[in-house]
Amino acid sequence: MIAQLPGFQVGYDDQGDGLPVVFLHGFPHDRTLWAAQRASLAPHARCIVPDLRGFGQSSTHGPFSMDQYADDVVGLLDWLAIESAVVCGLSMGGYVAMALWRRHPDRARAFVFCDTRLGADSEEGQRRRDELAALVKRDGARAIADAQITGMVGPTTRERRPEVMATLRAMMGRQSVAGIVGALQAMRDRPDSRDTLRTISVPSLVIVGEDDVLTPIKEARAIAEALPSVARVRLEIIAGAGHVPCLERPAATTHALSDFLSTLS
């Protein structure tokens, strides 16, 4: 589906009834990342799955920042007349979820932070963003798919699930250069979110793939430890998955989400 917001088009899926849950994809993904969870959870929840600005069917123009992505998500919630939702973000989607709490805390009913981190980029990390942006401008989106695919999944997926690798590679390779470069800038310039997490007062689930090397388990623990106890934090480690458990171990990820959602209604 397409929402025509003022000056900006959002591609999104809206399936199911009940508690609204917004799923935010990572980098450089699109909303199909969450296809399995949308299909499985739709009988119990209203699954809203947007393409972030620059990805999938959403407009490819800027401005690009975590704040802007968060405002775009809230723009979609307004358009759908949804007051508040559970916000579930993977990696870059998690950074957007943190920005959403900073800017629109009344719109978050609960959070799921998947394979993400609370810290800002180091100087070396920022340099790497600029190098990747130059690579994509020169060689296109496929170049970033080639550069990132191996680190994005765990060894179980690499060795036993070539179809998941192929799905992910195709997803990364079809994104727009403008969207990828914009997201790299937005991630490079994002703030540290430790203080933001400390103020979260809604229930929060932290999920991480056991073999995630991009945002390893220690990052998930740091998030869980920064969240106050009032957020009733849970940490779920998904065995046999790397950075994208929703794609690598869809049933286990859906199960963790479903358990958490059942505590909210």
Amino acid letter, residue 121:
D
Query: In the range 22-41, which residues lie near ligand MLT by CB under 6 A?
Result: 26-27
CB of 113 to ligand MLT, least distance (A): 12
Task: Identify which of 178, 185, 65, 181 has the alpha carbon closest to the alpha carbon of residue 134.
Answer: 181
Taking the complex as a whole, how short is the minimal distance between the CB of residue 55 and ligand MLT, in angstroms?
11
| Distance separating alpha carbons of residues 244 and 216, to the nearest angstrom | 12
What track of x and - describes contact with ligand MLT for positions 170 through 209 (by CB under 6 A)?
-----------------x----------------------
Q: Does 99 bind ligand MLT (CB under 6 A)?
A: no
- Is the distance from CB of 258 to CB of 44 less than 8 angstroms? yes
Query: What's the closest the beta carbon of residue 99 comes to ligand MLT, in angstroms?
Result: 14
As a dihedral over the C-alpha atoms of residue 131, residue 135, residue 138, residue 141, rounded to 10 degrees, the angle is: -140
Should residue 91 be labelled a site residue for ligand MLT when binding is judged by CB under 6 A?
yes
| Residue the block writes with tokens 């859906």 | 254
d(CA 255, CA 259): 6
The residue within the footprint of ligand MLT, chosen from 92, 110, 177, 180 (CB under 6 A), is 92
Provide the minimum distance between the beta carbon of 237 and ligand MLT in the complex, in angstroms, as a whole number.
Answer: 18
Note whether 214 binds ligand MLT by CB under 6 A: yes
Contact 46, 17 (CB under 8 A): yes
By the rule CB under 6 A, 154 interacts with ligand MLT? no
Record the tokens describing residue 194, joined without a space. Answer: 């430790």
Provide the binding-site residues for ligand MLT, judged by CB under 6 A: 26-27, 91-92, 187, 214, 243
